[in-house]
Copies of this chain bind each other. A is one copy, B any other.
Amino acid sequence: MPEVLFSVDQSKRFREQARLGHNRWHPDIPPVATVRPGSEFRLECREWFDGDIRNDDSAEDVRGVDLSIVHQLSGPIAVEGAEPGDLLVVDILDVGPVPQEEGPVAGQGWGYTGIFAKVNGGGFLTDHFPDAYKAVWDFHGQEATSRHLPGVRFTGITHPGLIGTAPSHDLLGTWNSREAELIATDPDAVPPLALPPNPENALLGALEGEQAEAAAREAARTAPPRENGGNQDIKNLTRGARIFLPVFVEGGKLSAGDLHFSQGDGEITFCGAIEMGGFLDLGVDLIKGGMETYGVTTNPVFFPGRVEPRYSEFLTFVGFSVDEEGRQHHLDSQLAYRRACLNAIAYLTKFGYAPEQAYLILGAAPIEGRFSGVVDIPNSCATVYLPTAIFDFDIHPSADGPQRADRGSCPKA
């Protein structure tokens, strides 16, 4: 077990920890530790809603979540010699749930998937699912089951939803201006188009006093992925993955969090993976000047790990860019993927699942979502690959018809 550089007491809230992490991106947050290239270390991580979601049969907690507190990030870790223009090589050595009993928080043998209410964040299919729902998952080694989703058991594709370097002041300015411009196009949208800086509940590590207040006013929210990596929610950044992150500030300042026991491509329910607290073991190295050398300037590149769950049979659903009202859109893959997901949900309901149960399964199980066609005017074609082996009944279409059964229910609020 590598040295713990960021320690979390899972019985306490993130802002009550001995050493403070952060929930905003800002270049001035001081590193909690400095390591040499070649080092390996552990970060302990708090689950993204800081313990607000409980292992129970009510979705009240999901309905009332406060997005201003996310994400709880462990770090930053500075790397000696890292300078703007370098690539920070990060090996995701291991990632797992909370190893010991320290309190009743997600990650201690269980996790959750939620659907946000439309008035409180929404999600990919929020017009179809405007209410809040929750499913609690039990961990069995690397597999998960849920009492709210009977008939399903799968191997998780465990990963950090969020990992990134600190932005420079310039880059932070770019983020803030471009996102403000978008928000300005429809400032009252529900859910909002983007989340502007918000000093409320901002945590900025060891920053204090006026400096902290100033930073809180401009620090970027952690919801989206950006040039620094960030909340990419790429399920394949699993154990054994190697990611090359652009460096924008001295030391790189690496932070991570938002651990997922599993997730489907897209994390479609927004609170969509199986969320958990836990640990993250990392190794770091440097490619000096690598951003220019390799043309890796606007996004990370990475190698997925070698231990992804192995499924070989998938029932695949297709969608294209005509919307639910029959209106034709022009090469809109986001829409095509939504239609493919809706098709998958419609299919699963034929076996007895409620639509929201099917939605939760697609958010959490290791489904694959693919851009199949993006040029065949006017329709993009998107596909969702659902591994058939995650169900303990047969989901193949056949002349016999679907094996309909009582599949229970999940809490709603």
Contacts and interface: CB of A to CB of B under 8 A. Distances in A.
A333 B334 contact: yes
A23 interface: no
A373 interface: yes
Contacts of A343: 295-296, 298-299, 301
B233 A372 contact: yes
B401 A140 contact: no
Interface size of A as a range: 35 or more
B296 A378 contact: no
Interface in A308-364: 308-320, 322, 326-334, 337, 339-340, 343, 346-347, 349-350
Nearest to A332: B334
Interface string A133-147: 000000011110000
Given A178-B322, A194-B328, A334-B333, A370 B373 contact: no
B370 A370 contact: yes
Contacts of A319: 299
A303 B315 contact: yes
A312 B315 contact: no
B317 A301 contact: yes
A287 interface: yes
B235 A397 contact: no
Interface string A360-388: 00000000111111111111111101000
A375 B123 contact: yes
Contact of A233 (B281, B293, B294, B376): B376
Given A93-B140, A311-B306, A194 B377 contact: yes
Contact of A317 (B233, B299, B304): B299
A195 interface: yes
B349 A295 contact: yes
Contacts of A306: 155, 309-312
Nearest to A221: B377
Nearest to A387: B312
Contact of A193 (B294, B297, B330): B330
A44 interface: no
Contact of A142 (B94, B141, B299): B94
Interface string A102-142: 00000011000000000000011000000000000000111
A226 B310 contact: no
A333 B333 contact: yes
Given A40-B140, A93-B140, A334-B331, A235 B372 contact: yes
Interface string A272-310: 100000000101001110100111111111111111111
Interface stretch (A24-32, A236-244, A247-255): A236-244
6 contacts: A178-B327, A223-B377, A225-B320, A304-B314, A306-B310, A310-B312
Interface of A: 1-2, 40, 87, 89, 91-94, 99-101, 108-109, 123-124, 140-143, 155, 174, 178-179, 181-182, 191-195, 223-226, 231-236, 239-240, 244, 265-270, 272, 281, 283, 286-288, 290, 293-320, 322, 326-334, 337, 339-340, 343, 346-347, 349-350, 368-383, 385, 389, 394, 397-399, 401-402
